[in-house]
Amino acid sequence: MDQIDIIKPDDWHVHFRDSDILKAVLPETSRHFARAIVMPNLIPPILNENDALQYKKRIENAIPKNDDFNPFMTIYLTEKTKKNELKYAHKNGAVFAVKLYPAGATTNSASGVKDIKKIMPILETMAEIKMPLLIHGEMTDQQIDIFDREKIFIEKKLDFICKELPELKITLEHITTKEATTYINEGNKNLAASITPHHLSLNRNAIFVGGIRPHNYCLPILKRETHRKALIDMATSGNSKFFLGTDTAPHLKGDKESECGCAGIFNATYCMSILAEIFDQNNSLDNLESFTSLNGSNHYGLKPNSKKIRLLKRKYPITFIDRIKVKKQSIIVFKPDFPVFWEVV
Ligand code: DOR
Ligand code: ZN
């Protein structure tokens, strides 16, 4: 097969940032995706409906004229989030979902949640009003090995939330381990997971090829090859509990190539090409549409998009641009370590 048409995809996890970075990166998403869930970890974070509405306006102003793109806004959950505010913001459509960052787990997560028990009343309300909870699933205890933080979070925190509130719609975001694929697969019907193109493309060796590779540093950190294979098996299987959330996370080049480099991989530009290549290599092109365009909207109770996109397999590998400009600075564009023949036309 060297041509496929699929329903226009959605990206259920993006970081757009703000100001000049927002303007530079947004077209990379709106070119191929119809909808996206926008992360709230700005500085300062998006804490309430008003913040979300203002941010949404700035995003809408950055959408290129010809792109038909719809951002879905989120609120950053803290131990001070007010139940009634959430209810109201969800009911009037301003805010789609709530993001739970364990405090200190990742970029700009300092105001996140320290004690999950403290937010259980809010999660109860969310279950009642059917507002999705998006989780960065990693332990923050620095004593825990960085490669085990997702697995232990599932055992110690996620399992507790799921058992207390089986009616709550939960997305465990950007999963990276075999344990996560098993837990989600066997979990209740309201539990699903998103997977990124970089965790499908690379294993942890990619962080250390001949030296430290800051542009392959993200959180949750890349894992062993056995885990990457488990993610590939699930993503390409068509299983409706797994869908695309790119976690495209732009940082300026200098902020990544630094003494204490930021976590995050900017993958929006070639995301669909890379996924088509991976699904093709795994003889699963028939399931690409489920992963990118159906399973996520189904989990969130939304209709799939009506438009389509076409992907073509070229005779020679495509050439990647290596950066996008942000005024005088730049953001490095994610490129996998295998040739990619597919292109969106
Ligand atoms: O690698 C990451 N970057 N992981 C996250 O969870 C946050 C993100 C960011 O905001 O840069
Ligand atoms: Zn993210």
Residue 4 host element (H or E): strand 3-7
Tokens standing for 261?
């480099």
Expressed in angstroms, the distance from the first to the final Cα of the chain is 16
pLDDT of residue 303: 98
pLDDT digits (tens, 9 = 90+) for 59-83: 999 999 999 999 999 999 999 999 9
Ligand 1 geometric centre to CA of 220 (Å): 8
pLDDT of residue 133: 98
Percent of the chain clearing pLDDT 90 (strictly above):
97
pLDDT of residue 99: 98
Q: Is 247 a catalytic residue?
A: yes
Distance CA 200, CA 222 (A): 9
pLDDT of residue 109: 86
User: Does the beta carbon of 219 sit less than 6 angstroms from any atom of ligand 1?
Assistant: yes
Tokens standing for 164?
């207390």
User: What number is the average pLDDT over the span 229-246?
Assistant: 98
Radius of gyration for the alpha carbons in the chain, expressed in angstroms and rounded = 19
- Mean confidence (pLDDT) of the chain: 97
Does 104 score more than 90 pLDDT?
no
Does 105 score more than 90 pLDDT?
no
Residue 135 host element (H or E): strand 133-135
Instruction: Give bridge partners of residue 71 from the DSSP assignment.
Output: 36
HSE toward the beta carbon, residue 132, CA cutoff 13 A: 27
Look at residues 218, 12, 17, 214 and name the one whose alpha carbon lies nearest to residue 97: 12
pLDDT of residue 98: 98
Look at residues 44, 77, 290, 34 and name the one whose alpha carbon lies nearest to residue 170: 77
Distance CA 85, CA 63 (A): 28
pLDDT of residue 110: 86
pLDDT digits (tens, 9 = 90+) for 108-153: 888 899 999 999 999 999 999 999 999 999 999 999 999 999 999 9
Ligand 2 geometric centre to CA of 288 (Å): 22
Tokens standing for 55?
């941010």
Note if the bond before 40 is cis, omega within 30 degrees: no
The torsion defined by the Cα of 130, 131, 132 and 137, in degrees rounded to 10, comes to -120
User: What number is the average pLDDT over the span 212-233?
Assistant: 98
pLDDT digits (tens, 9 = 90+) for 172-190: 999 999 999 999 999 999 9
Question: Would you tell me the crossing angle of helices 178-186 and 225-237 to the nearest 10 degrees?
Answer: 30
Distance CA 285, CA 24 (A): 31
Residues 10, 51, 247, 280: which is the catalytic one? 247
Q: What angle do CA 30, 32, 38 make, to 5 degrees?
A: 45
Return phi, psi of residue 114, to 5°.
Answer: -90, -40
Using the Cα atoms of residue 62, residue 220, residue 172 and residue 103 in order, give the sign of their dihedral.
Answer: negative
Ligand 1 geometric centre to CA of 244 (Å): 16
- The number of the ligand 1 atom at minimal distance from the alpha carbon of 41 is 10
Does 107 score more than 90 pLDDT?
no
User: Does the beta carbon of 15 sit less than 6 angstroms from any atom of ligand 1?
Assistant: yes
Look at residues 106, 112, 8, 96 and name the one whose alpha carbon lies nearest to residue 52: 96
Q: 208 falls in which pLDDT band (50, 70, 90)?
A: very high
Distance CA 219, CA 179 (A): 17
pLDDT of residue 20: 98
